[in-house]
């Protein structure tokens, strides 16, 4: 296993265009920071609009050839990349922790999760099907075929620097699409490593192009408006997603939008409170709370609310905060000072309005963007953190009376990505799951992420599904042939 200096030195830092590693057109550089210290780790190429155009040129040039490549061959590239990712998980995890901050064990879990999408879609590549039916009147036939959408633009966020990439790249490669990928400017190193792994796995030059840039708007804008682009898949904030949809409307691009969340976590009085607390720790603290799936607010039956709050506070208070590379650390830094400032502001707002910090509630002094794991009780209805995505290690707990009240509170948000439900009553479980306005539900479990399941949201959390049998469909067009027979 390499050390910190080695993984940074060895990571690719150039743009990957048409199968070649090259500097940005004007030689610009973008500094990458370690969020646990605020120190600079290294610099990567800072692309200009001409670089992005060259990347799209390469994707367009390769589209026909890649679409015509046998599905088994496309799948084998993904399978080899799955194996390489798994083999190099230790170094990749260390690199991810350095640029993103989460503890190494969590980075390693992300590498496993990311690799699973490559394996899953290596298997899906050979299962793209269509249909052939006899028309109702017996005259003629209907032939339905599935074909790749065409060149795609894939834009990913910083919170899962590798998995948000493989969740898009896997199905695009499997379907026979070429692509330009733009990782978040704060965490490009994991994506650049992934590009190198796919190159080594035999992906032909031009199928995957990676553009890193500090000016995402001006560099991506012309690509989104280029009529050769056929699809945009975006994971990030609702605000940016909505802006990109407007830009994409000119070209009527196929869209997948994986946007923000505000997950409710419901604990009914018939739940096993110990299990609910264990699930809450995962739903809240995975990725330091910086996940679209993070439990944003805990709605707990009045009769068990105190017990749940005390047990949750005990576990949250016992977490070790520190640099993600240190042994035994559970909670790393937030991504930057802005993100930490936003979390602090939401907590201050809630406390000013009457909430009580049972544990935590403050930033850590010193270098790095650390914030203490926090549990808030007596959270008033008008606290902003019940409505806004916290994206940090803060758990507000609120009591509820009836089941109807709980479901109404859960749905009282513009978002609809995921909800968590803890109950031991089967009928209630199904009733509540049917009533929740979300794309996903964790029933008696604190995590829903699974390469074999359709991940995605409703309402302001977006549309489209990643993973599962649905995932590849986002990269396929349906063509119908009316057959005269
Ligand atoms: P963000 O600010 O929306 O950025 C996401 C990506 O979009 C980054 O690569 C960013 O590049 C790029 N971007 C920003 N403005 C752009 C523009 N005008 N044109 C083109 N690209 C642009 O989101 P974030 O803060 O990185 O990520 C956190 C958000 O992502 C949260 O809301 C979270 O819930 C959501 N998320 C959703 C899912 C899901 O599956 N639903 C999964 C993970 C995260 P720069 O880095 O250069 O700004």
State whether the beta carbon of 258 lies less than 6 angstroms from ligand 1: yes
Average pLDDT over residues 13-30: 97
State whether the beta carbon of 159 lies less than 6 angstroms from ligand 1: yes
* Residue 83 pLDDT greater than 90, yes or no: yes
Residue nearest to atom 11 of ligand 1 (CA): 184
pLDDT for the residue numbered 2:
84
The structure tokens 């802005």 sit at 338
pLDDT for the residue numbered 90:
98
The structure tokens 């000013």 sit at 352
Measured in Å, residue 268 CA sits from the centre of ligand 1 at: 34
Q: Got the DSSP string for 274-321?
A: HHHHHHHHHHHHGGGG-STTSEEEEEEEHHHHHHHHHHHHHHHHTPPB
Nearest-5° Cα angle at 457, 82 to 164: 25
Share of the chain above pLDDT 90, in %: 99
The set of catalytic residues is 258, 292
Nearest-5° Cα angle at 321, 317 to 327: 120
State whether the beta carbon of 240 lies less than 6 angstroms from ligand 1: yes
Residue nearest to atom 40 of ligand 1 (CA): 258
Of 149, 150, 176, 154, residue with least CA distance to 167: 154
pTM of the model: 0.98
Measured in Å, residue 301 CA sits from the centre of ligand 1 at: 35
- Which of 49, 157, 456, 474 has the most ligand 1 atoms within 8 A of CB, as the residue to mutate? 157
Q: Which two tokens stand for residue 483?
A: 């057959």
- Which of 167, 187, 236 has the most ligand 1 atoms within 8 A of CB, as the residue to mutate? 236
State whether the beta carbon of 210 lies less than 6 angstroms from ligand 1: no
- Which of 56, 240, 369, 439 has the most ligand 1 atoms within 8 A of CB, as the residue to mutate? 240
Burial 415-449 (b: 16+ CB within 10 A, else e): bbbbbbbbbeeeeebeebeeebbbbbbbeeebebb
Residue nearest to atom 28 of ligand 1 (CA): 236
Cα–Cα distances (Å) from 364 to 332, 333, 334, in that order, read 11, 10, 11
State whether the beta carbon of 236 lies less than 6 angstroms from ligand 1: yes
Of 166, 119, 97, residue with least CA distance to 329: 97
Q: Which two tokens stand for residue 169?
A: 């790249």
Residues 307-357: tens digit of each pLDDT: 999 999 999 999 999 999 999 999 999 999 999 999 999 999 999 999 999
* Residue 422 pLDDT greater than 80, yes or no: yes
- Separation of alpha carbons 43 and 68, rounded Å: 37
- Separation of alpha carbons 70 and 292, rounded Å: 36
The whole-chain average pLDDT of the chain stands at 98
* Residue 82 pLDDT greater than 80, yes or no: yes
Measured in Å, residue 30 CA sits from the centre of ligand 1 at: 18
- Separation of alpha carbons 208 and 168, rounded Å: 11
Of 199, 202, 293, 119, residue with least CA distance to 111: 119
State whether the beta carbon of 392 lies less than 6 angstroms from ligand 1: no
* Residue 1 pLDDT greater than 80, yes or no: no
Nearest-5° Cα angle at 67, 62 to 70: 120
Q: Which atom of ligand 1 is nearest to the CA of 466?
A: 40
- Separation of alpha carbons 11 and 196, rounded Å: 9
């Amino acid at each position: 296993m390499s050390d910190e200096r080695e993984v940074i030195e060895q990571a690719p830092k150039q743009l990957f265009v048409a199968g070649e590693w090259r500097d940005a057109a004007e030689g610009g550089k973008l500094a990458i920071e370690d969020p646990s210290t605020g120190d600079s780790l290294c610099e990567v190429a800072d692309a200009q609009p001409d670089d992005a155009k060259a990347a799209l040129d390469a994707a367009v040039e390769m589209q026909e050839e890649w679409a015509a490549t046998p599905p088994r061959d496309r799948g084998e590239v993904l399978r080899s990349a799955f194996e390489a990712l798994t083999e190099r998980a230790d170094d990749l995890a260390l690199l991810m922790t350095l640029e993103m901050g989460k503890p190494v064990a969590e980075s390693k879990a992300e590498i496993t999760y990311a690799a699973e999408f490559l394996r899953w879609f290596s298997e899906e590549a050979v299962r793209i099907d269509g249909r052939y039916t006899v028309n109702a009147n017996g005259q003629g036939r209907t032939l339905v075929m599935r074909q790749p959408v065409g060149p795609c633009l894939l834009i990913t966020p910083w919170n899962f620097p590798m998995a948000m990439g493989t969740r898009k790249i896997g199905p695009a490669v499997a379907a026979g699409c070429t692509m330009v990928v733009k990782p978040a400017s704060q965490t490009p190193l994991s994506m650049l490593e992934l590009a190198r792994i796919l190159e080594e796995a035999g992906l032909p030059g031009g199928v995957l192009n990676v553009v890193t840039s500090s000016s995402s708007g001006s560099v991506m804008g012309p690509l989104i408006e280029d009529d050769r682009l056929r699809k945009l898949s975006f994971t990030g904030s609702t605000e940016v997603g909505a802006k990109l949809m407007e830009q994409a409307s000119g070209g009527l691009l196929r869209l997948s939008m994986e946007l923000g969340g505000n997950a409710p976590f419901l604990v009914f009085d018939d739940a096993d409170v110990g299990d609910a607390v264990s699930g809450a720790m995962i739903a809240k603290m995975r990725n330091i709370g910086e996940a679209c799936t993070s439990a944003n607010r805990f709605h707990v039956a009045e009769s068990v609310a105190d017990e749940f709050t005390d047990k949750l506070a005990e576990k949250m208070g016992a977490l070790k905060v520190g640099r993600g590379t240190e042994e035994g650390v559970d909670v790393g830094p937030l991504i930057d000072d802005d993100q930490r400032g936003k979390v602090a502001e939401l907590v201050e707002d809630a406390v000013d309005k009457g909430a009580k910090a049972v544990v935590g509630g403050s930033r850590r002094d010193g270098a790095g963007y650390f914030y203490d794991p926090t549990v808030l009780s007596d959270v008033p209805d008008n606290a902003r953190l019940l409505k806004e995505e916290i994206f940090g290690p803060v758990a507000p707990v609120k009591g509820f009376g009836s089941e109807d009240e709980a479901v109404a509170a859960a749905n009282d948000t513009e978002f609809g990505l995921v909800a968590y439900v803890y109950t031991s009553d089967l009928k209630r479980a199904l009733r509540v799951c049917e009533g929740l306005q979300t794309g996903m539900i964790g029933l008696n479990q604190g995590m829903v992420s699974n390469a074999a399941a359709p991940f995605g949201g409703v309402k302001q959390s977006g549309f489209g599904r990643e993973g599962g049998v649905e995932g590849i469909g986002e990269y396929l067009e349906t063509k119908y042939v009316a057959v005269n027979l």
